[in-house]
Chain A
């Protein structure tokens, strides 16, 4: 029998509260809590930010300031596949910009955006530590190295 009470309990909310409770008495709990919350929700919805603010008594404006400062945090959901294009120095000198342009043209979106069908989110990053294989991109943390513009279409086709 499902009761009204059960329906109210959102499993994500439970996880969020666990994360908050784990860190709330640490020195400087905010960033680890935000990182944990983003892992649970995939991004940081406004209601989550407000909830955290109440729980650890840090003003919402300050949390919003922190969230928008760091590249890791996002305020909107990501697409099904996250493409990180490296534009670190090593990748840049080996033609990273052309990889970016090709992907932007192919997907018809710019850095930071998500395709309309929610298939890809594009993010330009600086160095994912695989400089030896420059230029590189990573899709859902899978690294593709030694790229050139003509290889892009084939790689993208592998992700639904």
Chain B
């Protein structure tokens, strides 16, 4: 691999050829603010917050889409660069509802964080502000287009991660919006509710509805676990507050699935505390299901299966297993049917 040497803020560093200036900085723990960049998505170079000064280059190039060249001299924190970033943040804040007190994203919001870093106040520009309807029509995703900073990451996530292209830009200039076709609510589009878009949104424009009002990022501990819903075995973080799971967020670090999840894994956690959840075996007695002990239930099943097999033969019995189960559990199921019952009548809910 070819290595290039460059100077960042006076420090000499070496990085592999093909690295962007942003990555070169991050490899060396030099902080650069970004809003539209995500390592798993193609870069647009749109927000312009990551600008730096590079000797010999016209204007202030964005580091996320500028490749390192041998001998490059980069400055990431000089007054000119900081002033440009501050101005860009001021422009974003001027067209943003300052709802941080009640915003679900507070504590995990890139805009709020950078605005704080750069000493931005909300009063530099007076003028027009967007006033668009909030999309509250589905149980999973809350979309507040007024908080959208038009970074475009959700559009890319939907196309590049989920392969759906439900979202896109519409209109142009100051009137630009991001949303489903015709700017209709999510539930009137063909959205899968995989929530990939939510997982990349740097601000509170797209948030998990289930978590709204249930806890602040800093009150929550994240517990990495494996999704129980299917055999893909996605990993994610349970968000736990006071011993209670309040929701799920994907974890870019996990090897199986990264930020991607499906609707079940991301939004199916409400079953944990559901009243309908069955927590003991039930046996129907006199036409009514009554709770029972495991031993009693298993004995009953064994007896009945034995009787049926004896009376009607093994092929009168069939087993259907679930995608909720692991591969190992499904293996055991068919083994039991073939070796113990003596039939090939096995099937699985995900076969068709």
Which residues 54-105 in A have Cβ within 8 Å of B in the complex?
A: 59-65, 68-69
- Contact status B165-A69, CB under 8 Å: no
User: Shortest 9 CB-CB distances between A and B: which pairs?
Assistant: A60-B181, A59-B165, A61-B168, A65-B168, A61-B181, A68-B170, A64-B181, A68-B171, A65-B170
- Contact status A61-B166, CB under 8 Å: yes
Chain B residues whose C-beta falls within 8 Å of the C-beta of A46 in the assembled complex: 182
- Contact status B171-A59, CB under 8 Å: no
Q: Among the interface residues A59, A61, A62, A69, which one has the most CB atoms of the partner chain B within 10 A?
A: A61
Chain A residues whose C-beta falls within 8 Å of the C-beta of B169 in the assembled complex: 65, 69
B contacts with A: majority SS: mixed
Q: Is B260 an interface residue when CB atoms closer than 8 A count as contact? A: no
- Contact status A64-B170, CB under 8 Å: yes
- A49 and B180 alpha carbons, distance in the complex (Å): 14
Q: Beyond A61-B180, A61-B189, A64-B183, list 20 extra A-B contacts (CB 8 Å).
A: A46-B182, A59-B164, A59-B166, A59-B168, A60-B181, A60-B182, A61-B165, A61-B166, A61-B167, A61-B168, A61-B170, A61-B179, A62-B168, A64-B168, A64-B181, A64-B182, A65-B168, A65-B169, A69-B171, A69-B172
Instruction: Report A's interface with B, CB cutoff 8 A.
Output: 46, 49, 59-65, 68-69
- A62 and B172 alpha carbons, distance in the complex (Å): 14
Chain A residues whose C-beta falls within 8 Å of the C-beta of B167 in the assembled complex: 61
Chain A residues whose C-beta falls within 8 Å of the C-beta of B180 in the assembled complex: 61
Chain B residues whose C-beta falls within 8 Å of the C-beta of A60 in the assembled complex: 181-182
Closest CB in chain A relative to B276 CB, distance in Å: 36
Closest CB in chain B relative to A74 CB, distance in Å: 13
Nearest chain B residue, comparing its CB with the CB of A64: B181
Which residues 140-170 in B have Cβ within 8 Å of A in the complex?
A: 164-170
- A68 and B171 alpha carbons, distance in the complex (Å): 5
Chain A residues whose C-beta falls within 8 Å of the C-beta of B166 in the assembled complex: 59, 61
Which residues 218-265 in B have Cβ within 8 Å of A in the complex?
A: none
- A101 and B169 alpha carbons, distance in the complex (Å): 32
Nearest chain A residue, comparing its CB with the CB of B180: A61
Chain B residues whose C-beta falls within 8 Å of the C-beta of A63 in the assembled complex: 181
Chain A residues whose C-beta falls within 8 Å of the C-beta of B165 in the assembled complex: 59, 61-62
Chain A residues whose C-beta falls within 8 Å of the C-beta of B189 in the assembled complex: 61
- A65 and B167 alpha carbons, distance in the complex (Å): 9
Chain A residues whose C-beta falls within 8 Å of the C-beta of B171 in the assembled complex: 68-69
- A60 and B172 alpha carbons, distance in the complex (Å): 17
Chain B residues whose C-beta falls within 8 Å of the C-beta of A59 in the assembled complex: 164-166, 168, 181
- A62 and B170 alpha carbons, distance in the complex (Å): 8
- A132 and B180 alpha carbons, distance in the complex (Å): 44
Chain B residues whose C-beta falls within 8 Å of the C-beta of A69 in the assembled complex: 169-172
